[in-house]
């Protein structure tokens, strides 16, 4: 059995930063993640995707952010169980929890923090004729290595941040970039949308609005897509790659059976400390919901900080929260 102060379910960026905030308060953490590596969606789905809204970084790619977080938390010696899925949560008589994974790993902790991003997730696949037949043959739902797209013809579909950010990024790599969106406005950040419109006006990308991809075709590999406009006219476009970016479908898995208040596959929390309706159980990051919720990494960092302030009372019930510490070689020492 693994014994720790805080058991964190999810080793994405928010879960990792929670280790830092907990470490400042001398609380030990053990992280569990179904993925075989830390980083969550950042490492698994888009490790090379640029991120523009992390304070102090005009731009940082996703994997670099994960690596920096791992370096930041190293002084607090967190432990990890990776490649295993949490299956059961059992409260003990003293209020603590046993967390059990599908491999029968058991973690005993005073506090449980769910930082599972979107929980178990899979890409949303649009209804396009022939799409699945070309998966892995020109059709992909994520970009892990953008260098594979260098000097290639690439079509992106979607209107959120991922579609916009990748369009901007690939404009300097791919031979031809086309962004197709069903509307004439975007859901993503206005600044990113403005950059996309500028690239289109400069002729560096093709921007096709109020249209949908209706069919894909090819001979063993993707060669062409059919685009249906709002007026039902159909245009064919030759391409090497199609990357639909329509977000992820969240699946809470066993978490849905833990007595938590759930709203549309997200866990309701109290914004004073991001606690759930179950005592000693918190939810931070994209997996939680509350009025005004923004699914941003930096918001998850804020939630992690407040959560740790609240969790302290369960780990050290006889102590008052104190911030009296100094640093030695840049490492906090209490």
Q: Which residues are annotated as a binding site?
A: 33, 41, 46, 86, 121, 286, 327
Cα atoms found within 13 Å of the Cα of residue 282, Cβ hemisphere only: 33
Q: What does the angle CA 22 – CA 27 – CA 31 come to, to the nearest 5 degrees?
A: 70
What's the CA gap between 231 and 157, in Å, rounded? 19
Give the residue ranges of the annotated binding site for FAD: 33, 41, 46, 86, 121, 286, 327
Six-digit token pair at 252? 């809470």
Among 29, 120, 46, which residue's Cα sits nearest to residue 81? 29
Residue 114 bridge partners (DSSP):
9, 283
Q: 280 and 112 in contact (C-beta within 8 Å)?
A: yes
What's the CA gap between 331 and 38, in Å, rounded? 22
What's the CA gap between 137 and 109, in Å, rounded? 45
Among 29, 155, 24, which residue's Cα sits nearest to residue 80? 29
Question: In Å, what is the CA distance from 14 to each residue of 20, 47, 285, 286, 298?
Answer: 10, 16, 6, 9, 8
Helix (H, G, I), strand (E, B) or coil at 41: helix
Q: DSSP string covering 163-221, please?
A: HHHHHHHHTTTSSEEEEEESSSS-SS-HHHHHHHHHHHHTTSSEEEESEEEEEEEESSS
Q: 175 and 200 in contact (C-beta within 8 Å)?
A: no
């Amino acid at each position: 059995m693994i014994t720790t102060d805080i058991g964190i379910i999810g080793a994405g960026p928010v879960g990792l930063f929670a280790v830092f905030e907990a470490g400042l308060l001398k609380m030990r953490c053990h992280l569990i993640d179904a993925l075989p590596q830390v980083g969550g969606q950042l490492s698994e789905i888009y490790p090379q995707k640029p991120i523009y809204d992390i304070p102090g970084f005009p731009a940082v790619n996703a994997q670099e952010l994960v690596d920096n977080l791992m370096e930041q938390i190293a002084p607090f010696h967190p432990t990890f169980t990776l490649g295993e899925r949490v299956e059961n949560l059992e409260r003990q008589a003293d209020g603590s929890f046993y967390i059990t994974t599908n491999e029968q790993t058991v973690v005993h902790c005073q506090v449980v923090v769910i930082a599972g991003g979107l929980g178990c997730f899979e890409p949303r696949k649009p209804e396009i004729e022939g799409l699945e037949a070309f998966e892995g043959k020109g059709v992909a739902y994520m970009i892990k290595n953008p260098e594979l797209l260098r000097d290639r013809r690439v079509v992106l579909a979607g209107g959120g941040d991922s579609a916009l950010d990748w369009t901007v990024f690939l404009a300097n790599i791919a031979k031809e970039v086309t962004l197709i969106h069903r509307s004439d406005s975007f859901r993503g950040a206005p600044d990113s949308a403005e950059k996309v419109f500028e690239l289109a006006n400069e002729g560096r990308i093709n921007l096709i609005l109020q249209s949908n991809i209706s069919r894909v075709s090819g001979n063993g590999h993707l060669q062409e897509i059919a685009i249906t406009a709002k007026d039902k006219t159909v245009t064919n476009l030759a391409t090497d790659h199609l990357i639909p970016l329509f977000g992820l479908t969240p699946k809470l898995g066993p978490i849905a059976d833990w007595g938590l208040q759930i709203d549309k596959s997200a866990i309701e929390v109290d914004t004073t400390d991001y606690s759930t309706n179950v005592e000693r159980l918190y939810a931070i990051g994209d997996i939680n919901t509350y009025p005004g919720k923004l699914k941003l990494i930096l918001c998850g960092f804020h939630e992690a900080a407040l959560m740790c302030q609240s969790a302290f009372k369960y780990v050290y019930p006889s102590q008052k929260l104190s911030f009296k510490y100094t640093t030695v070689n840049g490492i906090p020492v209490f």
